[in-house]
Amino acid sequence: MDLRDSDKRFYGKKNLLLKSFFNLIKNAIEAIMADGKIKIEHYYHEGWIHIKLSDTGQGIPEEKLVILGTPFYSSKPDGTGVGLTQVFTTVHEHGGNISVQSLVGKGTTFHIQLPVKKV
């Protein structure tokens, strides 16, 4: 874990955000076939909290990246296709952005940006 700027806070719906990060971490664990690593970064830059979750798993083919977050799409045999949909929806409902970078055989990074709002 690389946690910087921990004094910067984001205010939102705690349970939805926890569920989103749970889904991302669970997916990262499931993407790793044998030995692998998961890295979580947190930092502040120009009014946004940035959270990056990276894994050294199997990666996602480029043609599948564009449909991530689509309701009921899953690459898992027993998947329901609602986990990443919930993640994307929650991030957008909180005024944030999410992007995904992946290389097959190398791993995947989810980059979430959430606006810092003054309370």
What is the arithmetic mean of pLDDT over 27-54? 93
Adjacency order of strands within the sheet including 97-103: 2-3, 38-45, 48-55, 107-115, 97-103
2-115: CATH superfamily: Histidine kinase-like ATPase, C-terminal domain (3.30.565.10)
Cα 53 to Cα 87: distance, rounded to the nearest angstrom? 13
Please state the pTM of the whole predicted model: 0.87
Q: What is the pLDDT of residues 62-107, one digit of tens each?
A: 988 887 777 656 666 676 667 888 999 999 999 999 999 999 999 9
Of the ranges 4-8, 44-48, 60-64, which is most confident?
Answer: 44-48
Domain ranges of the chain: 2-115
